[in-house]
Amino acid sequence: MQDQTDDRTLITRIAGQDQAALRALLGRHQLRVYRFVLRIVRREAVAEEVTNEVFLEAWRNAGSYEARSSVGTWLLSIAHNRAVSVMRRRREEAIDEESAGAIADDGDDPEVAAQKLDKAAQMRRCIGELSAEHRTIIDLVYYHEKSINEVSEILGIPLNTVKTRMFYARKKLSELLAAAGIDRGWP
Amino acid sequence: MSGIDEQLSEREEIEMLLPWYMTGRLDEADMARVEAYLEQHPDMHHQLALIAEEQTGTIEGNEAIQPRLASVASLLARTETPAGAAKSWFAGLIDGLKSLVEAPTPGAVRWAAAAAAVIICLQAAALGTLLTQDSGGGYQTASRPGVEADHGAVALIAFTDKAAAADITRVLADNRLRMVDGPLPGGFYSVRFEDHATGDEQRKRFDAILARKDLIRAVMTGR
């Protein structure tokens, strides 16, 4: 709760064009926002630029921030919109997956191949193989620890859709693990 | 209650809430509801073990991402550019290319417009190259000193079909350039300098890049 209060104080100061406050906000949220974006766009250079744009938007729109949600949720909401916009553009351009800056495919990594028997490694690989939609909600719930309401706000989807999407993401993950030889006994 | 809710059994509803139960992000009423169900249905604890594995994997996957973040100074410099400041024609051109792709128009029309824009770009690039080669003046960057030069896209680069990802990465790194967007229509990528290179230094680097005919199909810088 104290963190949220501090974040809101920072936003108030940022609305007054206080660069020191922006610097502090970056220190608190930049890495999480970057990771969230990278897991969607999968390109480091693009993720870096989108992350910068998120904080620039926060800088420019701090005055219109309404404290109905936490600052972290607000930033992730901006990040999601921008990342999805980038993805939509790339999809329409039939992107070449071998372009510079792409994240290496775990499946091509000999070390990962050698870890085939490692259940934890398989779990990470299978999460990476989920669709962007499923991976995003898994990240929001498990890594960013967002509530149902917060996920709904970030993704712009109804509460029931949040619950069902998470359920199907978990189900798909179990199917991928089963295909990799790990039977979890569910679903 | 929605149609979905009406069709769900109590077990399914509880099952859907479990991830948030594990992260402690349920409201009090739902938390109590899940706990009551778990007490009566110990078999459901198996789900909690699965969710714990999933959460561990997700956290590990995220924390394995090494930060590659622009310097705070670079970002702060951008905050000094007024939101409504006029953009260079070059920045406008990049935005224009993007907007063509994003525009909510039928695909065929959009692509025809994008193709036309690329032809114009290539013509401009060719003219620019000819002009600079004739005068021996090299290239000019899109930005005015101190504002966009440090952070905005400074060039559009298109690579040859033979260019491998590793070669592209190397030639950009050798010249302290970073890809910031792309591919744009026509296979162009926007790039910017990672350091505060002077105009002469930027010109030298673009000359070096353009000399790599095996990798580079076109370079377009602007003023």
Per-residue model confidence as pLDDT tens digits over A107-163: 545 555 555 558 889 999 999 999 999 999 999 999 999 999 999 999 999 999 999
> Which residues are registered as beta bridge partners of B188?
B158, B184
AA identity, residue B47: Q
Are the C-beta atoms of residues A170 and A186 closer than 8 Å to each other?
Answer: no
pLDDT value at B221 more than 80 = no
DSSP state of B137: -
CATH value of A104-187 in 3.30.870.10, 1.10.3720.10, 3.40.50.80, 1.10.10.10: 1.10.10.10
Peptide bond before residue B106 is cis, with ω within 30 degrees of 0? no
Q: What is the distance in angstroms between the Cα of A120 and the nearest Cα belonging to chain B? A: 6
- Rounded to whole angstroms, the Cα distance separating A103 from B150 reads 26
By Cβ distance, the residue of B58, B60, B79 closest to A139 is: B58
What pLDDT is attached to residue A1? Answer: 61
HSE at residue B2, side-chain half, CA atoms within 13 A, is 9
Per-residue tokens: A114: 């050698």
Choosing among A54, A99, A144, A161, which should be mutated to test the B contact, i.e. which has the most B CBs within 10 A? Answer: A99
Count the neighbouring beta carbons within 10 Å of the beta carbon of residue A187.
12
pLDDT value at B31 more than 90 = yes
Task: Break chain B into its structural domains and give their ranges.
Answer: 3-63, 87-221
**CATH 1.10.1740.10, applies to A1-103:** yes
pLDDT value at B166 more than 70 = no
Contacts of B51 in chain A (CB under 8 A): 170
> Which residues are registered as beta bridge partners of B156?
B190, B220
Put simply, the answer to whether B56 touches A120 (Cβ < 8 Å) is yes
Least confident of A99-103, A121-125, B202-206: A99-103
Window 51-110 of B: residues touching A by CB (8 A cutoff) are 51, 53-62, 64-65, 67-70, 72, 74-76, 78-79, 83, 98, 101-102, 107
Provide CB contacts within 8 A for B7, sequence distance 6+: none
Query: What percent of chain B is predicted at pLDDT more than 90?
Result: 24
By Cβ distance, the residue of B54, B165, B181 closest to A49 is: B181
Least confident of A27-41, A163-177, B132-146, B198-212: B132-146
What pLDDT is attached to residue B49? Answer: 94
What pLDDT is attached to residue A67? Answer: 82
Cα four-point dihedral sign B186, B191, B197, B198: positive
Task: Break chain A into its structural domains and give their ranges.
Answer: 1-103, 104-187
Provide CB contacts within 8 A for A85, sequence distance 6+: B102
What pLDDT is attached to residue A98? Answer: 44
What pLDDT is attached to residue B141? Answer: 36
Inter-chain CB pairs, A–B, below 8 Å: 146
- Rounded to whole angstroms, the Cα distance separating B34 from B28 reads 10
Q: Give whichever of A56-60, A88-92, A139-143 has the largest mean pLDDT.
A: A139-143
- Rounded to whole angstroms, the Cα distance separating A104 from A98 reads 9
CA distances, A168 to each of A93, A161, B33, B57, B98 (Å): 28, 10, 22, 17, 34
- Rounded to whole angstroms, the Cα distance separating A23 from B75 reads 9
By Cβ distance, the residue of A35, A52, A59 closest to B70 is: A52
pLDDT value at B128 more than 50 = no
What pLDDT is attached to residue B146? Answer: 36
Least confident of B7-16, B76-85, B155-164: B76-85
- Rounded to whole angstroms, the Cα distance separating A108 from A40 reads 20
Per-residue tokens: B42: 């110990």
Q: Which residue of B has its CA nearest to A25?
A: B72
Count the neighbouring beta carbons within 10 Å of the beta carbon of residue B111.
16
**Nearest C-alpha neighbor of A90 from the set A143, A33, A43:** A43
Contacts of A95 in chain B (CB under 8 A): 183
What pLDDT is attached to residue A148? Answer: 97
AA identity, residue B89: W
